[in-house]
Amino acid sequence: MDRPLRIALCTDGVFPLALGGMQRHSRLLAEHLAKDPGIHVTVIHPHAERVFHPDLGIEEVRIAPIDERAFYVAELWRYSGRVAEELQRIDPDAILSQGFSVWKGMRRFSQRLVVMPHGLEMFQGLTAKDRLIGLPFRWMVRHVARRSALVVSLGGKLTPMLRRLSAGSVCQVVTVPNAVELQEPLPYPSDADGIRFLFVGRFAFNKGIDLLVRIARELEAELPQARFLLAGDGPERAAMEREGLPSNVTLLGKVSDADLERLYAECHALLLPTRFEGMPTVALEAMARARPVIVSDVGASGELVDEQNGALLPPGDPVALRNAVLAFARLPSSERERMGRIGHQRVAERFTWPLVTAEFVRLARTVSRSQRE
């Protein structure tokens, strides 16, 4: 019997001990990789305690975490050095690296390295200040991409960005989307108590939360049956509360997983007017529960949503957002339910964890095979 393919997954944190989309992705990818009997998974992470259930058979290598009090970029460099020492020691067949986890000394591992830069938010800044802040990270992505065997794009507008960054190198850009656990379609809610639009995310400028509140205010009289439920927290919340909210907006704050499940069940659509994004997990979560999605055409959101299962909007455009909400609210309930089911089917066909994990296994075998040859 052939020995298992030894995959090292390198990350700067694992959910729930570290919060964030990449950290959640690290956990779910490791757990699904471990279900394959032909794979041995080692996760290099910064947590002192055990992260994964022992029954999964995941080997955990714990290293010193990033010092959040120090200069972040320098800390990323030092952290990647500690990761490199462990990679040298365990010598895996293939390496999956989240973000900048493999950076310092990465040429030693280039031929068996698959890098996942995720959403490339540092390339999508709108203001001069955003672009200045993102400058070192853009250089870092370019550096890492050019020294990897494969770099993973989530798709959509992110793919040409990565191709430009890696041009002239031996690195290949491959597309593997985000994933979600597929749920049974939730029954579509009645319109009797109004039409509920759900926002889930950080209350920050880049999420377009200001645009959402602006169009909600405009629609108070024109669309009195609409309700806007905003789940999350962040720097924009205090200013929103000081200015006063329209009567059709409810701030829910941070919600538990159980409460979020209830909100998905009660809402008629997810509304995400983000100014820039990778591939929004909340959109996938809503689709997995058979809810239509109205989202900005940024990053890889176009891989998820079109007119068949929601609406894809130009980012930062309040008129387009307002018109999309009005158009959706005027659709028959049966049509809105149909859109939700199309989204659910789309997830089943392309965005489930078993499908996406199989793609990562294929990539790992590809770079491992080239390493042996």
* pLDDT tens by residue, 247-267: 999 999 989 889 999 999 999
The dihedrals phi and psi of 148, each to the nearest 5 degrees, come to: -115, 160
221 and 131, same domain (yes or no): no
Supply the CATH number for residue 279's domain.
3.40.50.2000
* Confidence class for position 225, pLDDT limits 50, 70, 90: very high
Q: Per-residue pLDDT tens for 45-83?
A: 999 999 999 999 999 999 999 988 888 889 999 999 999
- For residue 128, the model assigns a pLDDT of 59
Share of the chain above pLDDT 90, in %: 74
Q: Domain residues for 332?
A: 195-349
Q: How far apart are CA 290 and CA 197, in angstroms?
A: 14
- For residue 370, the model assigns a pLDDT of 57
Per the prediction, the chain carries an average pLDDT of 92
43 and 169, same domain (yes or no): yes
Q: Per-residue pLDDT tens for 308-344?
A: 999 999 999 999 999 999 999 999 999 999 999 999 9
12 and 91, same domain (yes or no): yes
30 and 170, same domain (yes or no): yes
Q: What is the mean pLDDT of residues 115-122?
A: 79
Whose tokens are 């659509």? That residue is 269
* Confidence class for position 22, pLDDT limits 50, 70, 90: confident
Q: What is the DSSP letter of 309?
A: T
* Confidence class for position 240, pLDDT limits 50, 70, 90: confident
Residue with the bigger pLDDT between 242 and 311: it is 311
167 and 34, same domain (yes or no): yes
172 and 88, same domain (yes or no): yes
Does the pLDDT value for residue 112 go beyond 60? yes
- For residue 309, the model assigns a pLDDT of 98
Q: What is the mean pLDDT of residues 133-137?
A: 71
366 and 281, same domain (yes or no): no
Does the pLDDT value for residue 126 go beyond 60? no
- For residue 260, the model assigns a pLDDT of 93
Within 10 angstroms of residue 50's Cβ, the number of other Cβ atoms is 10
- For residue 50, the model assigns a pLDDT of 94
Q: Per-residue pLDDT tens for 143-198?
A: 898 999 999 999 999 999 899 988 888 899 999 999 999 989 999 999 988 999 99
- For residue 141, the model assigns a pLDDT of 87
333 and 365, same domain (yes or no): no
342 and 212, same domain (yes or no): yes
276 and 320, same domain (yes or no): yes
In a domain, residue 21? The reply is yes
How many distinct structural domains can be found in the chain?
2
163 and 305, same domain (yes or no): no
Q: What is the mean pLDDT of residues 203-228?
A: 94
Burial of 86 (0-12, 13-18, 19+ CB in 10 A): middle
Residue with the bigger pLDDT between 132 and 149: it is 149
Burial of 47 (0-12, 13-18, 19+ CB in 10 A): middle
In a domain, residue 189? The reply is no
What six digits make up the tokens of 177? 């989307």
221-230, 295-304, 362-371: segment of lowest average pLDDT: 362-371
Does the pLDDT value for residue 372 go beyond 70? no
Q: How far apart are CA 296 and CA 272, in angstroms?
A: 7
- For residue 33, the model assigns a pLDDT of 97
Q: Per-residue pLDDT tens for 264-282?
A: 999 999 999 999 888 999 9
What six digits make up the tokens of 369? 């095979």
Does the pLDDT value for residue 125 go beyond 70? no
Does the pLDDT value for residue 371 go beyond 70? no
168 and 277, same domain (yes or no): no
Q: How far apart are CA 172 and CA 191, in angstroms?
A: 49
